[in-house]
């Protein structure tokens, strides 16, 4: 139970931080400034092209060599958030790019500022496209937190390993851990379906009014 709760808050915290950074990266990659867009693209290339396990080990054991020391919790959260941001930025960027340019131009023609166009025209439509892959990413992140066990973060898998050493119940405890993961991902799947239905219905109603 303690491990499952740790997994839950680590997932939520990593998602919030990763999504905030991912949205920023997506907007930067859509920038007309090639240098800035290239820097964001390089970030995504680096974190998507290397294993999360290696990233966590570098943050927790490598950065202290340069004077940057993190606790286990800080290193786990930082590594998961930075890694997730690279993937979420691609989801957000593809959602924004899927909105027709004509709609953006129409908003500008009506006298809206670029920020208003993004907030009232582009983002609501992009969000409908983003939610399904974002939900799948959350599902994956929930299970990916188990990688943090390598730096002794006591999430669900690490707590299971500790209990195995204490009680010598290998199969039973791994099955219990698997059940906990299954319960959490199933609950999230139900939440994701509700979100998809809600935003999809809102979009259909809006199109009907038009």
Q: What is the pLDDT of residue 177?
A: 94
Whole-number Å distance between alpha carbons of 146 and 155: 7
> Burial, 150: exposed, middle or buried (Cβ in 10 Å; 0-12, 13-18, 19+)?
middle
Q: What is the pLDDT of residue 200?
A: 67
Q: What is the reported pTM?
A: 0.86
Instruction: Confirm if 25 and 44 have CB atoms less than 8 A apart.
Output: yes
Q: What is the pLDDT of residue 204?
A: 46
Q: pLDDT below 70 — which residues of the chain?
A: 200-210
Question: Rounded to whole angstroms, what are the CA distances from 13 to 142, 193, 208?
Answer: 11, 22, 37
* Residue 6 belongs to domain spanning: 2-209
Whole-number Å distance between alpha carbons of 15 and 10: 8
pLDDT (tens digit per residue) in 96-136 = 888 877 777 777 777 777 778 888 888 888 888 888 898 88
The tally of domains found in the chain comes to 1
Q: Which helix (H) or strand (E) holds 92?
A: helix 72-97
Domain at 122, CATH number: 1.10.3720.10
């Amino acid at each position: 139970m303690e491990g499952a709760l740790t997994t839950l808050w680590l997932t939520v915290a990593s998602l919030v931080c990763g999504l905030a950074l991912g949205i920023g990266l997506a907007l930067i990659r859509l920038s007309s400034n090639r240098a800035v867009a290239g820097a964001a693209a390089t970030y995504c290339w680096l974190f998507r092209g290397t294993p999360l396990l290696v990233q966590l080990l570098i943050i927790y054991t490598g950065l202290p060599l340069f004077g940057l020391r993190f606790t286990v919790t800080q290193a786990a959260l930082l590594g998961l958030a930075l890694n997730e941001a690279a993937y979420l930025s691609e989801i957000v960027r593809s959602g924004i790019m899927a909105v027709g340019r004509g709609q953006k131009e129409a908003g500008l023609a009506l006298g809206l500022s670029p920020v208003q166009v993004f907030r009232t025209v582009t983002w609501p439509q992009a969000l409908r496209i983003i939610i399904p892959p974002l939900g799948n990413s959350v599902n994956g992140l929930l299970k990916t937190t188990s990688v943090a066990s390598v730096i002794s973060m006591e999430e669900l898998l690490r707590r299971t390993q500790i209990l195995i050493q204490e009680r010598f119940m290998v199969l039973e405890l791994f099955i219990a851990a698997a059940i906990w993961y299954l319960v959490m991902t199933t609950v999230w799947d139900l939440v994701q379906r509700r979100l998809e239905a809600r935003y999809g219905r809102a979009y259909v109603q809006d199109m009907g009014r038009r």
